[in-house]
Amino acid sequence: MANTAYGGTAAVGHTCFSISHNQDTPCTGKEDPCPLAEVLKRKDRFTVEHTHFTKTGAPQYVEIHAFPVFDTHGEVVQVIEYSLDITKNKTYEQEILLAKQTYKEIFDNISDALFIHDISTGEIVDVNNTMLRMYGYERREISHLTVTDLSAPKEIYSSERISSLIEKAAQGAPVVFEWQNRKKNGELFYSENVLKLVTIAGEDRIMAVVRDITEQKQAREALEESEAKLSALFSSMTEMVVLHELVFDEAGTPVNYRITDCNDAFTRITGIPREDAVGKLATEVYVTPEAPYLTEFAGVGITGEPYHYETYFAPMDKHFAISVVSPDKNRFATITSDISEAKEYQSLIAAKNKELEQLLYIASHDLRSPLVNVDGFSREIAYSMEDITAVLESTTERAPLEAALRREFSNMENSIEHIRTSAAQMDTLLKGILRLSRLGRAALKIEDVDMNTCLARLRESFAFVIQEADITLYIQKLPPCRGDAVQLTQVFSNLIDNAIKYRDPHRPLKITIDGEVEEHTVKYRIADTGIGIAENHRTHIFELFHRLSPETSDGEGLGLTLVQQMLTRLKGEIRVHSEVGTGSEFTVVLPRATTTP
């Protein structure tokens, strides 16, 4: 009785229920039976668990063992009891039970489907309620199911594969994979699965956590499809699309920008590989001391206001039309179209329009003048013929007739000479126009041209004139360019011919030709010590049929017009600087050769 409020003989004369239960009536009922009454009734030993109370009133769990003592007649005369304190064991049992209940509660109510597999056979040992709802089965059906029954009928979802995955998980590391599952009604859905080695009730098991990702997978596939379409559009656009982020200094001022992505057109237009651009600063990519158009781009990235402009970018020798938009704060995207060809066509159209204006002027003035002469002097011949006819009709005498013929034949001869001169003038003009027209239609063979070879041949063609006129032609080593070798030879031939034609008779003529490579172009200079070009002629020297001194020089006035047209077709240009009495310097600019030594 050490566990009660009585000790030793103090319990004598008291009932057990008053000592152990602190109550006035015996224990009754199925949940708390009296061991003494049970032994008397059964006439056999009896064991029961009771809750007793200590001296402090704290509950104490005990296991009571009661044994009957019989007399010679087989009647129970005494009952021997002893109690075992099982409080600790009972507490452990309750904790275990609570843990089991908690585990079961979590197991059945977790949002993912859970499978417990036998580690050696892979058989399904247990599932949670979520699995039943997810797959549409009842618990009594689970014992007959295999993983194959719950998988899509495809070879990739075979029982051999799941066995292999279980074997990997059995080694200790979690295995994560996607799977296509089959519900009881045949509906298929995707899941993300995790296999993990666990210990349940002292046994190693494989727990499979199955999460339905059908919606996520559909959303992901839709996103991937959208991204694929966007990527295809991004890559196949003829426009150059580049994404950037602004770079700020410590004061918060934009000082640069970094390229974060670009499409294939960027490399095609700029010649810069994608790997040399993405992640790099603009100053690195474009090799410029300052980021190009930083002020405009920063304005878009900071304010979000779009911007559009056209520009010529000298480092690339290209014209661009650029639209700038901001997809996010401090970021901007440029959509750039290479309009260099369009600009070139605009220049060609402008040049053609100027040529057309000149041709119209020629048709209305230069060709009209000789036509007026032809008409006028034709009338003079007609008048002379009328006079001769009148004399023939008025007299038969020889003297008056002879005098009239002598007078009118002289006038007619003079008129015919004027007509022939005017016809020759018209022929020259028409031949020049025809030559200009043919030049504009001539096929071009664009390639890298060795200008040293071209000029060496030209030197030979001018050798006699150079020797006879005591001319010095000095040609430095020239860089190659890109163009048509035949037309370039004609360009330089016309320029050398002009220098010889307009040399100063009072001093020896010296012609110097040199060249240098610039970033995307080659610049050639043809300088002479000729008479020079007066200021009032400089703006007209490239016009059709314009000549500096028609009275003293031969030619049609086509040379420089042809030079300019040929250079325009070769994407080049020509400029002139001249001083009367000093000489002239023509500068020819052409595209740089693709392979410059």
Q: Express each pLDDT in 161-180 by its tens digit.
A: 999 999 999 998 999 999 99
State residue 516's pLDDT score.
Answer: 94
297 pLDDT higher than 90:
yes
Tokens read off for 212: 């339905």
Which burial class, exposed, middle or buried, applies to 12 when counting CB atoms under 10 A from its CB (0-12, 13-18, 19+)? exposed
φ/ψ (deg, to 5) at 324: -120, 125
247 pLDDT higher than 50:
yes
What is the number of residues in the chain? Answer: 597
Helix (H, G, I), strand (E, B) or coil at 45: coil
Q: 559-569 and 485-501 helices cross at what angle (nearest 10)? A: 150
Helix (H, G, I), strand (E, B) or coil at 199: strand
DSSP states of 500-534: HHT--TTS--EEEEEEEE-SSEEEEEEEE-SS---
Amino acid at 289: P
- Residue bearing the bigger pLDDT, 395 or 111: 111
φ/ψ (deg, to 5) at 557: 80, 25
Instruction: Label residue 306 by pLDDT band (50, 70, 90).
Output: very high
Once rounded to an integer, what is the mean pLDDT over residues 81-105? 75
Instruction: Label residue 99 by pLDDT band (50, 70, 90).
Output: low
Amino acid at 475: I
Taking all residues of the chain, what is their mean pLDDT, rounded to a whole number? Answer: 83
483 pLDDT higher than 60:
yes
66 pLDDT higher than 70:
yes
Q: Of 7-21, 177-191, 359-373, 542-556, where does mean pLDDT reach its minimum?
A: 542-556
pLDDT digits (tens, 9 = 90+) for 133-165: 999 999 999 888 999 999 999 999 998 999 999
Residue 560: which of 591, 573, 459, 579 has the closest Cα? 573
573 pLDDT higher than 50:
yes
pLDDT cut 90: percent of the chain above it? 34
Q: Of 22-26, 116-120, 300-304, 450-454, where does mean pLDDT reach its minimum?
A: 22-26
280 pLDDT higher than 60:
yes
Q: Of 93-102, 144-153, 316-325, 502-511, where does mean pLDDT reach its minimum?
A: 93-102
| Residue 470: DSSP 8-state | T
Contact 596, 517 (CB under 8 A): yes
Amino acid at 578: S
User: Alpha-carbon distance 514 to 520, whole Å?
Assistant: 18
- For β-strands 124-127 and 510-517, DSSP reports them as unpaired
User: Alpha-carbon distance 267 to 274, whole Å?
Assistant: 6
Residue 542: which of 588, 505, 581 has the closest Cα? 588
User: Alpha-carbon distance 485 to 481, whole Å?
Assistant: 10
Q: Residues 6 or more apart from 256 whose CB is under 8 A from it?
A: 246, 247, 281, 282, 283, 291, 294
11 pLDDT higher than 80:
no
State residue 360's pLDDT score.
Answer: 60
Q: Residues 6 or more apart from 67 whose CB is under 8 A from it?
A: 39, 45, 79, 80, 81
Once rounded to an integer, what is the mean pLDDT over residues 507-514? 94
Once rounded to an integer, what is the mean pLDDT over residues 207-223? 89
Once rounded to an integer, what is the mean pLDDT over residues 78-102? 77
Contact 152, 135 (CB under 8 A): no
474 pLDDT higher than 90:
yes
Taking residue 427's Cβ as centre, other Cβ atoms within 10 Å add up to: 11
pLDDT cut 70: percent of the chain above it? 86
In the block, which residue shows the tokens 């001296």? Answer: 55
Instruction: Label residue 558 by pLDDT band (50, 70, 90).
Output: low
Once rounded to an integer, what is the mean pLDDT over residues 69-77? 87
* 3-state DSSP of 312-335: EEHHHCEEEEEEEECCCCCEEEEE
Once rounded to an integer, what is the mean pLDDT over residues 107-127? 88
Sheet with 175-182, side-by-side order of all strands: 124-127, 113-118, 203-212, 188-200, 175-182
| CA separation, residue 19 to residues 58, 60, 85, 289 (Å) | 13, 13, 16, 101
Sign of the torsion formed by the C-alpha atoms of 378, 380, 385 and 390: positive
pTM of the model: 0.43
State residue 2's pLDDT score.
Answer: 45
Tokens read off for 524: 């050639």
- Residue bearing the bigger pLDDT, 124 or 358: 124
Tokens read off for 316: 């690339």
Contact 111, 128 (CB under 8 A): no
Buried b / exposed e along 506-524 (16+ C-beta atoms within 10 A)? eeebbbbbebeeeeebbbb
Sign of the torsion formed by the C-alpha atoms of 427, 428, 432 and 435: positive
| Residue 367: DSSP 8-state | T
User: Alpha-carbon distance 229 to 212, whole Å?
Assistant: 27
Tokens read off for 87: 């409080």
- Residue bearing the bigger pLDDT, 121 or 14: 121
User: Alpha-carbon distance 358 to 560, whole Å?
Assistant: 14
287 pLDDT higher than 80:
yes
Helix (H, G, I), strand (E, B) or coil at 591: strand
231 pLDDT higher than 70:
yes
How many helices (H) and strands (E) would you count in the chain? Answer: 17, 20
| CA separation, residue 127 to residues 112, 131, 286 (Å) | 11, 6, 63
State residue 152's pLDDT score.
Answer: 94
Instruction: Label residue 357 by pLDDT band (50, 70, 90).
Output: low
